[in-house]
Homo-oligomer: A and B are copies of this chain.
């Protein structure tokens, strides 16, 4: 009467002629294992093509070795790049990356968050804003680590990584001023979104520093989408038609703005210069090509992932919050070409 055939780690143990504890230790434990034993176990693992069951593992270890990326709009090409950057570092570390769009027809940010929390992910990269107090609290007492993208987040012990949006917009505005533009408007995304706040600040402060008055009605806020750009132009021109430049909070807005400006009979860059932010692929493709700021999306993703892995590895909870700012670069293209004959 044969004993029941063992499976999983027990099969490996039997094959190698050691105990399951020993196999477990070889598999990433930290107690000493003799070289000989280790070799035998590794051979057995190989022979059986054995992979530990992640469920069983997480049940004991309270870690799932998975992280979730939550983005406001997966069709914005900025975010797939962030995802790729995260995967660059997570895959070699054995982590699974789940990418979640919070702008689904069927779901909102809160639901998506609760969904990934229920899955016990070890970490969340948060590219969205607008979480409720209750959801923030839920994150806090789930123990899930959070890294915020492009903004701070109101959770103790959360790191964040962003590019230096404020200086990016300073570069944009300086460039416009240096090419002779004087009446410069701003089309933002969602007004209270942190990136929007920073970008607006970069725009305002640079204008002020250069001695230009800025008025509240220089800026309109819509959404970080192409459609938002179209609406922004309408809102702006409903107030005042004298703009000779429009600074947009991202490339999608800028692309929509250019479309709409042309429909309204304005030439870009002849009558109005337009700038974006992010330098997505399309920025170089449209006509006129878009002056913008390179936002190091992939590097943001990599950095965010590294920050999370570091958090997972630390034993004390209290390490200081990390705040990493990546630099960016102005990319000058056709949409801000000087038009000497005009002025």
Contacts and interface: CB of A to CB of B under 8 A. Distances in A.
A88 B59 contact: no
Given A55-B57, A84-B75, A99 B96 contact: no
Given A98-B99, A99-B99, A286-B286, A54 B87 contact: no
A1 interface: no
Interface stretch (A24-32, A104-112, A230-238): A104-112
B64 A55 contact: yes
A101 B84 contact: yes
- Residue from A55, A56, A94, A285 whose CB has the most chain B CB atoms within 10 Å: A55
A71 to B, nearest CB: 9
A111 B106 CA distance: 33
A106 B92 contact: yes
Contacts of A97: 98-100
A119 B75 contact: no
Given A87-B104, A98-B97, A285-B255, A75 B80 contact: yes
A58 interface: yes
Contact of A75 (B55, B57, B105, B281): B281
A180 to B, nearest CB: 25
A247 interface: no
A116 interface: yes
A87 B100 contact: yes
Interface string A271-311: 00000000001100111000000000000000000000000
A304 to B, nearest CB: 16
Contacts of A83: 74, 99, 101
Given A84-B75, A281-B282, A116 B96 contact: yes
Contacts of A59: 53, 55-56, 59
Interface in A62-115: 64, 66, 74-75, 77, 79-81, 83-84, 87-88, 91-92, 94, 96-101, 104-107, 111-112, 115
Given A53-B58, A55-B64, 14 more contacts: A51-B117, A74-B80, A75-B77, A75-B281, A77-B77, A77-B80, A79-B80, A87-B100, A87-B104, A88-B105, A91-B104, A96-B119, A97-B100, A287-B287
Closest 6 CB pairs of A and B: A287-B287, A55-B58, A51-B118, A55-B55, A99-B99, A55-B59
